[in-house]
Structure 1
Amino acid sequence: MIDNTSKRQQEIIASAGKLLIEKGIKGLTTKNLAQEMEFSESALYRHFKNKEDIVVLLLNYLASNMKERLDLIFENHDTSEAKLLKLFESQFQFFTQNPHFVVAVLSEGLFDESEKINQAIMKIVHYKMQLIAEIIETGKQNNEFTKDISTTDIVHIIIGSFRLMMLKWKLSKFEIDLVTQGNSIMKTNIKLMTT
């Protein structure tokens, strides 16, 4: 998990996440963040050059955490179906405990902020798509999943369902049971592609 992130930077990431939840991307300003942290803006600039660097570190922290958790699932000897279910359950549990990451990833305004932020988001998306594609390909080779639908299409369907579930959860102000409902949607998706 991003070993070179200082304790203070992690505290700033957490406070930035809190602001994202409470005020959205427009409310995540260095002034608001400094107030949330109860120190001056100049103290904030000792750790980060600007808001962009804070958001990029937040996204890189998410990417590192996700890779650490999901690689363990990928490397175990479960069936492809079990791996997919565990992968998404891990994601739902993580986001339930850290909703600010969902706000960051699903914030439309964030995509327009900068190229560095776009690259950090795309790194997360590509990693997840590649991992799911590998699991599906293995499942097809083991006759767990249908070969009638391309792996690319299956990945888009699954990721689309996941993003819709996360958006629904965000719009409910995090009040629905993400783990139960999310796992149910993913089980249905997997059932539709099993042989």
Structure 2
Amino acid sequence: MNAPQKKNLPAKERRNVTVEAVVDLAGSTNPDSITTAAIAKHMNLTQGALFRHFPNKEAIWQAVMKWVAERLMARIDKASEGIESPLETIQAMFLAHVAFVSEHPGAPRMMFGELQGSKTTPAKRMARTMLKKYAARLNDLIEAGKARGELRADLDSEAAATLFIGTIQGLAMQSLIAGDMSHMAEDAPRVFAIYRRGIIAEFEGEKGE
């Protein structure tokens, strides 16, 4: 379904609407096959109108990666706000991340597409930077959890952060293959429970038994 045309929008809002249209389009279309003509058609615009706000397709893709990074981190920040426990913060991040991807299936498709590409584009560099910062944030939380005795003292923080991200990516891929992103939200609590059992301190595990 084509997005309704919105006239006389400020430039910044028009760019945001364009980015959201691309993410929406990527939810049902291979990102590699999305052309500026397809984006313009989806938005009921001309390509000329599209290029008044973006000089080229590469600029659109870079804006999409920025949109994904900012919206995802904002969702995670909100979900973890006020939580003191590093372990509970990690769980809140996991569920918030899954919820975001479930609501915006085009986001992981765009991310995977950029990271798998052979060319080093601005969008690909932005995706890598986001993942690096995300992993660093997780690593800090895991270290804090170890210091508080919530997580195993011998836990490999870097590996645990990698597994956290990889688990979400795996859920996303399986849901995309199944063609039903609601599977992610349904499976996430059970999947995280397994991950949690692998990282918690022994006494924490005993309390849950």
TM-score by length of 1: 0.88
Q: Structure 1 11/75 Cα, relative in aligned 2: closer, same or farther at 3 Å?
A: closer
CA RMSD after TM alignment: 2.1
The answer for the alignment partner of 2:145 in structure 1 is 139
Trace 1:142-181 onto structure 2 (pairs within 5 A): 142-181=148-187
Q: Which has the higher Rg, Structure 1 or Structure 2?
A: 2
Give the Cα–Cα distance (whole angstroms) in 1 for the partners of residues 53 and 185 of structure 2: 35
The amino acid of 1:54's aligned partner reads: I
Trace 1:42-121 onto structure 2 (pairs within 5 A): 42-74=48-80, 76-107=82-113, 111-121=117-127
Pick aligned residue for 2:29 from 13, 23, 31:
23
Where does the alignment leave 5 or more consecutive residues of structure 1 unmatched?
A: none
Give the Cα–Cα distance (whole angstroms) in 2 for the partners of residues 6 and 41 of structure 1: 18
The answer for the alignment partner of 1:188 in structure 2 is 194
SS at match of 1:127: helix
- Compare 105-114 and 183-192 and name the one that shifted more: 105-114
Pick aligned residue for 2:128 from 117, 122, 145:
122
**% of aligned pairs identical?**
16
Q: Any conservation in 2 of the 1:111–1:117 contact (CA below 8 Å)?
A: no
In the alignment, structure 1 residue 41 sits paired with structure 2 residue 67: no
The answer for the alignment partner of 2:38 in structure 1 is 32
Q: Any conservation in 2 of the 1:136–1:151 contact (CA below 8 Å)?
A: yes
Where does the alignment leave 5 or more consecutive residues of structure 2 unmatched?
A: 1-9, 202-209
Give the Cα–Cα distance (whole angstroms) in 2 for the partners of residues 49 and 68 of structure 1: 28
